[in-house]
Structure 1
Amino acid sequence: MMGKRLKPMMFNARRAYVELMFQVMGRALQAISEVDESTRSETIELPDGFLFEMRVMPHGPALIVEHTGTGRLLYHGDEPPRPVDLSIQFKHIAHAFLVLSFQEKTAVAFANDRMLVDGDISYAVRITRVLNRLESFILPKLVAQRAVKEYPANIKLPEKLVRAARIYLKVATNFVETARS
């Protein structure tokens, strides 16, 4: 009897967590493209106006990010302004929760057939590298090592702390600006 009441609560809690993480990730992707040259050199190869989404199927939470040129990304929230060029979709909210709570690496989730990629695979690989770099900066090293395929050896603690602080400051500023409007 208790299990029947807990199941919807768990689903709603996971959904709320995934929605929040998508908002943080979208804003953090925009922030890292502003503060990290390696990220800009990765994203500059994307076409101007390139629209990327990460979504939970079929109508779950989403994040939409656009390449605006010169390697900069712009977070659009959860509704695309036009059809997307690349869509990475989790098949279920539980799968998204596993990845976004850093219990399962993105590569493992893809290998376990928990995700679909609709669009150019080379762009998906590029976006995944950007996400891995972002996670390497903003997560503690022990958590980041669980989240990314390979933790970058060239990120030293002082650089990590400075970049993480700048990213978090930009994310917080973006949340405040969104709340004001």
Structure 2
Amino acid sequence: MLSKRLQPIAFQARRAYVDLMFQVMGRALQAITEVDETAREETRFLPVGFLFEMQVMPAGPKLIVEHTGDGRLQYLGDEASRPVDLSIQFKHMAHAFLVMSFQEKTAVAFAHDRMLVDGDVSLAIKMTRVLNRLEAFILPKLVAERAVKEYPATLNLPNKLLNAARIYLKVATNLVETVRA
């Protein structure tokens, strides 16, 4: 009986966690394209104005970023002024929670049919590579190895720490600016 009363609380907690992670990831996607040349190279050939969305179906948390040119992404929050060009959608909040809490790799979630891609699959692969690179930078190596398909062999500790610090600083700055607005 107690577990029935705790289920809605657990669902709300998972939803709040996924929503917070999407906000952090959106800002971090913007930051990594300002900090890391490899991430910029991945996104450089996206069309200017390209909108990428990651969301939980049917009306759960989401993040939207826009390619502003020269490989840079800008976090738009959870609303876009026009239809998105590429959407990666989790079929259920529990599936999103598994990936956002780094219990399951994105590739594994896709293989288990927990996610949908609506849009150009080749662009989805580019965005997934950027997300994997971001996770490799900002997560401790043990966690990142569980989260990404392949941890970059060339990522050494000084480079990881420097870029992670720069990304976190930009994310924090963006959060503060958002709160002030």
TM-score normalized with structure 1 length: 0.99
Q: Could you tell me how far apart the structure 2 residues matched to 1:100 and 1:84 are?
A: 22
Q: Could you tell me how far apart the structure 2 residues matched to 1:3 and 1:155 are?
A: 44
Matches within 5 A, 1:9-158: 9-158=9-158
Q: Deviations over 1:159-181 (max 9, x none)?
A: 00000000000000000000000
TM-fit CA distance, 1:81: 1.7
Cα RMSD of the aligned pairs, angstroms, is: 0.4
Q: Could you tell me how far apart the structure 2 residues matched to 1:10 and 1:3 are?
A: 10
Secondary structure at the residue paired with 2:155?
coil
Secondary structure at the residue paired with 1:73?
strand
Q: Could you tell me how far apart the structure 2 residues matched to 1:60 and 1:129 are?
A: 24
Q: Structure 1 residue runs of 4+, over 2 Å off?
A: none
Amino acid across the alignment from 1:5: R
The aligned residue for residue 160 of structure 1 is 160
Secondary structure at the residue paired with 1:87?
strand
TM-fit CA distance, 1:80: 1.3
Q: Could you tell me how far apart the structure 1 residues matched to 2:62 and 2:80 are?
A: 10
Gaps of 5+ in 2: none
Residue identity (%): 77
